[in-house]
Amino acid sequence: MKKVVAIPTDGKNVSEHFGHCPLFYLFTVEGNQITEKEFVENPGHQPGVLPRFLNEQGVNCILAGGMGTRAIGLFKENDIKVVIGVKGPLDQVVEQYLNGNLETEGNICDH
């Protein structure tokens, strides 16, 4: 099954606040292998923009540091699974995700 995963980032690490990251790292996984990967610029932090934007990119899973409950709800409405409490270097996070041992710490933004 093909899955497109998005990680908010500064280019090296998972961004702590989802909406204010400069970039998203998108990678496509089929089985346990990455078949495509790219960085895309954040189109802006406005209510409802990012769920539509990432949905248009084919994203169906987000690995993020922190995200508000309203944003999580908007992503769920767009059939995008959200995993929060993720932090660390991109390579490490992707490797943990692919191996099924991604470590998370509960982190929901309250603003």
pLDDT tens for the chain, residues 1 to 111: 789 999 999 999 999 888 889 999 999 999 889 999 999 999 987 778 899 999 999 999 999 998 888 889 999 998 999 999 999 999 999 999 999 899 887 544 443
| CA separation, residue 106 to residues 41, 55, 74, 109 (Å) | 26, 24, 19, 10
Domain CATH code at residue 8:
3.30.420.130
Q: What is the pLDDT of residue 82?
A: 94
Range of the domain at 9: 2-109
Q: What is the pLDDT of residue 40?
A: 96
Q: What is the tally of structural domains in the chain?
A: 1
Q: What are phi and psi of 58, to 5 degrees?
A: 90, 10
Q: What is the pLDDT of residue 106?
A: 59
pTM: 0.90
